[in-house]
């Protein structure tokens, strides 16, 4: 056998043996045996610890070196850490609800958006068992939302992922038409649903200063949400406009609800999200 090939075999043996060494199971190097005073000595193939043959069995001389204990401890720590990380990733503890929309989601005009906006109210209602995120952006249109907010960073498998989607008020203030805007909403909602989200969408409430032709588009849009194909596609509908018409969502400034108005809207949020999370 050529020297080079033999050297390669030794390296492979050493790599195979080293993990055994960690557990104290050493292997004497058969090629390195020396005799002295009728006793056979060698070294471990893996870790090179000195070994001696006693009553027919090879044993390491003295105790295993300290590094073996340290390496073993480090290996066990790494294993425990890895298991813990794996378990946490596979079993996320808390369900999540993301509120996506414009200033009426953000909570403009609420006395304390952290607790009296709609996301704030749901957090107070659910407590710390549920993660609530407020992705409301003042002034944003539904068209922009659908293009910008993918929610991919929020989604985790192994828990319930719920989104409450509200938007359109700013679109109608910018001359949007009902049919293309509904298509945008439907595509966005279906995309989220396909990504694993439980989706609820809200109707658009009246706002002061909307010209009559835009008011007609808003009403047509709401009819498509309430009576159109969304529900049969597994999308929940939160009819905020009906609550507003019934006087349960008073406005502070002609566009944004008062605290009492947000409380009125929040009842629909709570009914939808609690059902999605199977809390009742």
Q: Residue count at the site for Zn ion (CB under 5 A)?
A: 5
Cβ-proximal residues to 21 (8 Å cutoff; 6+ apart), any chain: 44, 46, 47, 49, 68
Among 28, 29, 43, 46, binds Zn ion (CB under 5 A): 46
DSSP state of 55: T
**Shortest Å, Cβ 38 to Zn ion:** 24
The span of 4-12, 21-29, 159-167, 221-229 binding Zn ion (CB under 5 A) equals 21-29
Among 28, 44, 171, 218, binds Zn ion (CB under 5 A): 44
State which residue, 18 or 190, has the beta carbon closest to Zn ion: 18
Least Cα distance to 132 among 116, 148, 152, 118 occurs for 118
CB-CB contact of 145 with 176 (8 Å)? no
The span of 44-52, 109-117, 227-235, 249-257 binding Zn ion (CB under 5 A) equals 44-52
**Shortest Å, Cβ 58 to Zn ion:** 11
Contact status: 126 vs Zn ion (CB under 5 A):
no
State which residue, 14 or 248, has the beta carbon closest to Zn ion: 14
Contact status: 21 vs Zn ion (CB under 5 A):
yes
Taking CB under 5 A as the criterion, which residues in 57-96 touch Zn ion?
Answer: none
Measured CA to CA, the distance from residue 79 to residue 76 in angstroms comes to 5
The span of 20-28, 88-96, 147-155, 182-190 binding Zn ion (CB under 5 A) equals 20-28
Q: How far apart are the first and last CA of the chain?
A: 76
Measured CA to CA, the distance from residue 265 to residue 125 in angstroms comes to 14
| CA 164 to chain CA centroid, nearest Å | 16
Contact status: 257 vs Zn ion (CB under 5 A):
no
Least Cα distance to 45 among 4, 69, 75, 16 occurs for 16
Measured CA to CA, the distance from residue 223 to residue 28 in angstroms comes to 83
**Shortest Å, Cβ 149 to Zn ion:** 58
Contact status: 47 vs Zn ion (CB under 5 A):
yes
State which residue, 24 or 180, has the beta carbon closest to Zn ion: 24
Least Cα distance to 153 among 133, 129, 124 occurs for 133
Contact status: 26 vs Zn ion (CB under 5 A):
yes
**Shortest Å, Cβ 18 to Zn ion:** 7
Contact status: 108 vs Zn ion (CB under 5 A):
no
In this structure, are strands 57-60 and 50-54 parallel, antiparallel, or unpaired? antiparallel
**Shortest Å, Cβ 16 to Zn ion:** 11
State which residue, 45 or 181, has the beta carbon closest to Zn ion: 45
Contact status: 51 vs Zn ion (CB under 5 A):
no
Residues that bind Zn ion (CB under 5 A): 21, 26, 44, 46-47
């Amino acid at each position: 056998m050529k020297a080079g090939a033999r050297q390669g075999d030794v390296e492979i043996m050493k790599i195979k043996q080293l993990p055994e060494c960690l557990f104290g199971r050493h292997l004497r190097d058969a090629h390195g045996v020396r005799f002295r005073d009728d006793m056979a000595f060698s070294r471990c193939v893996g870790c090179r610890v000195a070994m001696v043959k006693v009553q027919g069995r090879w044993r390491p001389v003295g105790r295993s070196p300290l590094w073996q204990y340290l390496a073993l401890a480090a290996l066990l720590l790494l294993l425990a850490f890895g298991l813990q990380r794996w378990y946490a990733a596979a079993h996320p503890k808390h369900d999540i609800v993301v509120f996506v929309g414009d200033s009426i989601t953000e909570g403009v005009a609420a006395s304390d958006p952290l607790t009296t906006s709609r996301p704030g109210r749901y957090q107070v209602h659910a407590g710390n068992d549920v993660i609530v995120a407020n992705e409301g952006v003042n002034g944003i249109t539904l068209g922009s939302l659908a293009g910008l907010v993918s929610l991919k960073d929020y989604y985790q498998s192994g828990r319930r992922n719920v989104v409450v989607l509200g938007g359109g008020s700013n679109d109608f203030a910018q001359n949007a038409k009902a049919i293309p805007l509904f298509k945008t909403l439907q595509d966005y909602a279906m995309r989220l649903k396909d990504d694993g989200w439980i989706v609820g969408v809200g109707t658009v409430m009246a706002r002061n200063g909307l010209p009559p032709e835009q008011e007609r588009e808003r009403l047509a849009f709401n009819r498509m949400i309430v009576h159109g194909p969304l529900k049969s596609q597994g999308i929940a509908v939160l009819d905020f406009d009906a609550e507003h018409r019934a006087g349960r969502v008073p406005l502070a400034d002609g566009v944004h609800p008062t605290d009492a108005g947000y409380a009125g809207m929040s009842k629909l949020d709570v009914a939808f999200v609690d059902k999605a999370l199977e809390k009742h």
